[in-house]
Amino acid sequence: MVERKDVTVLEPPVLRIEHIWKSFGKVQALKDVSFEVYKGDVLALLGDNGAGKSTLIKIISGNYRADKGKIYLNNQPVSFGSPAEARHAGIETVYQQSPVCLNASVTANFFIGRELCNGLPGIKFLKKRAMRQETEKAMADIGVHIPSVKEKVGLLSGGERQALILGRFFHWGGKIALLDEPFAALGVGEARKSLKLIQHMGQQMRLPIILITHNVEYAFEIATRFVVLRHGEMVGEGKIADVKVDDVVAMITGAIHVRDTN
Amino acid sequence: MTENSGKSVAVLREGKLSIKGNRKAVLRWILDHMVWFILFFVLVVLSCSIRGFAQWGIFRNILYHAVFVGVLAIGEAICIISKEMDLSVESVAGLAAIMTAWLTGTGLDASGILLNGYLALLVVLAMGAIIGAFNAILVVNYKISSFIVTLAGYLMFRALALVVTNGHGVTRLRPEVVMVARTKLFSIPLMVVLLLFIYIAFYIFVTQTRFGQHIYLVGDSREASYNAGIRIGRVLFGVFMLSGMLAGLTGWLLAARTNGAAPNIGMGMLFEAMAAVVIGGVSLQGGVGNLAGVLAGAILLSTIATAVSLLGMPPFYMNVIRGGFIIIAVLLDALVQRIRPYLM
Ligand SMILES: Nc1ncnc2c1ncn2[C@@H]1O[C@H](COP(=O)(O)OP(=O)(O)OP(=O)(O)O)[C@@H](O)[C@H]1O
Ligand SMILES: [Mg+2]
C-alpha cells in the first residue's frame, strides 16, 4: 500500500484496489496495480493507448473479473459478477453513451425506477410536481442549468446529458463514479462545462471520481491525484499539486519511471 | 410597470417566461396535438363540400363507428409504446365476439347456455387476459419476437372460435347485450360514452401512474430501464394482458352491435387499429405516443369511411385515402420533430 501523507482524517478509503492482475491470453493488461480513492479525490487515471486504463475500470465496475487481487469498497471486500451488482453496490461507469430514455423528460429519467408515488393499493399515482421540484433542486445543487426538467432528454446537449447521469448517480447514493474519457465526444465549450461540473462534484461536494482522460491539461485542471499506467504497470502516483505537467507526460510516454528512481 | 395587464403580470411572475415564450408554448401545444387539427380540418372540408354532412346525425355515426377500432387501438398503442407489437388483437376480438354470441345467443345456433351478457363480458375479458399472458410468456420468458408470437396468434385465435361453433356464426343475443348498442344518453350513443370513458381512464393510467410511466420508459430504452431496476418482464406482461383484455372488450362490443357474430366479424380491424395508432403519432421506435392522438386517429379513419360511403364511392377508395393519411401523418410527424427543438 502506498503512504498517504495528505490524508489527515482517519477515514477509510472509499475504494481500495490491491495487487490487481489481469491478462487476456498472452497480453498482460494489468500487473500488480494498487491504489486508493478517498472522499474528495478526483483521481486521474492516465496512460497511453493500451496502457490498461479501461481494463482496470471494467474490473472495478464488474465487467471483467481480475485474475488476482482484491477490491474493497468502504473497507469491505467486494467481488462483482456483473455491472448490475457493482451498480447496486454504488459503483458505476458513467460514459457519454450511457443509456437514457431519450423521449422521456429529465424528471422521468432522474427518477427512473424510483418514482415518487401516492401509495394507493393497486394503482400508484405519480407525484409529478414533487418529482419535478426535487429534480430541479438536485440539478441546481450540482451546478447544472437545464432549460426545463419537463423537456425530453433527447434535446439536451451531450454535456447536459452527462451531468444528468452523474447527478442522478450521486443523488441516489452512488459511492464512486468511473468516467472513461468523458470529454471525448464533447466540443470545447461543452468540455469546459463538463470539467467545471466534475470539479464541483469532486472537490466541493467531495464525491469520489475516477477519471480517465488522454488530455493531461484537463487532468491538471480538475484532478487532485493521479495514477499513471504504462503497459499495465503503475509507473507513477501522487498528488497533482506536487508534479508538473511535463513530468506526468514523461511518465506516460516512458521517459521517467518513478519506481525505478525511488 | 403598473400598466401591465393581469395576464402578463402572471406571466412575469412565472419567472423567465416572456410573452414570446408563451407563444412558443402555444405553438408547441399545437404541434403536439396535430392530429386533432387535421381531424378538425378534414371535418370542416367535408362539411363544406358534401351537402348534408354537417349534422349531428352524421357526426354521431362517425363517433359510433370509431368505437370498435378506437378501443382496439388503445391496446395496440400501449404495446407499440412499450416497443412490442400485438398482431393478435383482431383475432382475439373476433374470438371474443363469437364467444359472446355463442354464450349469450338465444337461438339454436348458440350454445344454449344463455349466459348473462355481463358475465359473458367477464368471460371474454378473462380470456383476453389469458391470451395476453400467453403472448407475454413467449415474448418475455422464451424471448421470441412479439411480431412472430402475435402473428401466430392472429392466425390461430379466430379459427379457434370457429372450432367451437363449427364454423358458423351466431345471431340473436340476450337483450342486455343488444341494449348496450342501442341505448342513447341525451342522444349520444352509450357506446360513444363508453369509448370516451375508456380513453379518459387509459389516458390517466398511462400519464399519471407509475406503471404507465414504466411502459414509456421500457419502450424508450430497455437498457436504461434495466439499469434502473425496472422489472421489464412484468411491465410487458401487463402490456400484453391489457391489450388482450381490450381486444376481448372490443369483441363483446362488436357482438352487441351486430346482435350476433358472423365468422368474419371484425376482420381487417388490425390494420385499421394500426393505422389509428400511427396516425395518432405513436412511434414504432417505442417510448413515444399520446392516447389522445390515437383517439383522433380512430375518429379520422371513421370520418373517411363515412364520407366515402356518403359520396357513394366504391369502398376500395377508402384504403387509398387511409394509406394516404398514414403517409401524411408520418411525414408531418417527422416535420414536427424537426421544428420542435426551436420552440424550447
Ligand atoms: N477484451 C479484450 N480481449 C483481449 N485483449 C484486450 C481486451 N481488452 C483489452 N485488451 C488489451 O489489453 C490492453 C489494455 O487495453 P485497455 O483497453 O485497457 O487500454 P486503455 O488504457 O484503455 O487504452 P486507450 O487509451 O486506447 O483506451 C491492450 O493491449 C488491449 O489490446
Ligand atoms: Mg480505453
For B193-251, how does the pLDDT look when each residue is reduced to its tens digit (9 = 90+)? 999 999 999 999 999 999 999 999 999 999 999 988 899 999 999 999 999 999 999 99
- Domain presence at residue A56: yes
Pocket test of ligand 1: the residue of A48, A54, A65 to mutate, having most ligand atoms within 8 Å of its CB, is A54
pLDDT of residue A259: 52
Better-predicted residue by pLDDT, A30 or B6? A30
Confidence of residue A120 (pLDDT cuts 50, 70, 90): confident
pTM over 0.80: yes
Residue A232 Ramachandran class (φ > 0 left, ψ -120 to 50 alpha, else beta): left
Give the nearest ligand 1 atom to A47 CA: 21
Q: What is the mean pLDDT of residues B257-284?
A: 92
Task: Give the angle subtended at the CA of B222 by the CAs of A191 and A116, to the nearest 5°.
Answer: 85
User: How high is the pLDDT of residue B73?
Assistant: 98
Query: What's the 3-state SS for B59-71?
Result: HHHHHHHHHHHHH
Q: Chain B partners of A87 at a C-beta cutoff of 8 Å? A: 227
pLDDT tens digits, one per residue of A142-185: 877 787 898 889 888 888 888 888 888 888 888 899 998 888 87
Give the residue numbers spanning the domain of A80: 1-90+175-262
Burial (CB count within 10 angstroms: exposed 0-12, middle 13-18, buried 19+), residue B168: exposed
Contact state of B225 with A148 under an 8 Å Cβ cutoff: no
Enumerate the β-bridge partners of residue A71. Answer: A17, A78
> Residue B340 class from Cβ within 10 Å (0-12 exposed, 13-18 middle, 19+ buried)?
middle
Residue B107, pLDDT > 50, answer yes
* pLDDT for res A7: 52
Q: Is the pLDDT of residue B335 over 70?
A: yes
- Residues 108-137 (A) with a CB less than 8 A from some CB of B: 108-109, 112-115, 117, 123-126, 128
Pairwise CA distance, residues B175 & B216, whole Å: 41
Whole-angstrom distance, CA of residue A188 vs CA of residue A201: 20
For residue A259, the domain's CATH number is 3.40.50.300
Provide the pLDDT confidence category of residue A61 given band limits of 50, 70 and 90.
Answer: very high
pLDDT at B299: 97
The alpha carbon of A179 is separated from its chain's Cα centroid by a whole number of angstroms, namely: 4
* Confidence check: pLDDT of A134 > 70: yes
Count CB neighbours of B126 within 10 A: 13
Residue A79 lies in a domain: yes
- Backbone angle region of A209, left / alpha / beta, with phi > 0 → left and psi within -120 to 50 → alpha: beta
Give the CA distances from residue A219 to residues A54, A216, B131, B143, B173, in Å, rounded to whole numbers and listed in that order.
16, 5, 58, 45, 78
For residue B235, what are the CA distances in angstroms to B78, B133, B156, B213, B219?
Answer: 11, 11, 25, 10, 10
B56-343 — its CATH code? 1.10.3470
Q: A104 is written with which cell numbers? A: 422521456
Asked if pLDDT for residue B33 goes beyond 70, the answer is: yes
For residue A158, is it within any domain? Answer: no
Of the pLDDT bands very low, low, confident and very high (cuts 50, 70, 90), residue A21 is very high
The pLDDT of residue B342 is above 80: no
**Model confidence over B52-70: pLDDT tens digits?**
888 999 999 999 999 999 9
pLDDT category at B71 given cuts 50, 70, 90 is: very high
Report residues whose beta carbon is within 6 angstroms of any ligand 1 atom.
A 24, 27, 29, 47, 49-55
User: What residue segments make up the domains of chain B, in order of their start?
Assistant: 56-343
* pLDDT in the model for residue A5: 52
Answer yes or no: is pLDDT of A106 > 80. Answer: yes
Does B179 have pLDDT greater than 70? Answer: yes
Query: Does pLDDT of A124 surpass 60?
Result: yes
- Residue A5, in any domain of the structure: yes
Is there a domain that residue A129 lies in? no
The pLDDT, as a whole number, for residue B140 is 97
Nearest to A99 among B205, B224, B288 (CB): B224
ipTM of the shown complex? 0.84
Does B323 have pLDDT greater than 90?
no
Mean pLDDT of A56-71: 93
From the CA of B285, how many Å to the nearest CA of chain A? 10
pLDDT in tens, B115-138: 888 999 999 999 999 999 999 999
List chain B residues with CB under 8 Å of A114. Answer: 228
Amino acid at B84: E
pLDDT at B20 over 90: no
Within a domain: residue A228? Answer: yes
Indicate whether A235 belongs to any domain.
Answer: yes
Instruction: Answer with the residue of higher pLDDT: A120 or B208.
Output: B208
Is there a domain that residue A139 lies in? no
Question: Which residues from A are below 8 Å from B223, CB to CB?
Answer: 99
Cβ-based neighbour number of residue A134 at 10 Å: 17
Residue A200: the pLDDT is 87
Mean pLDDT value across chain B: 89
Total of domains in chain A: 1
Residues with CB under 5 A from ligand 2 (ion): A 54
CB atoms within 10 A of CB A6: 13
Asked if residue B278 has pLDDT above 80, the reply is yes
A104 to B210: CB separation less than 8 angstroms, yes or no = no
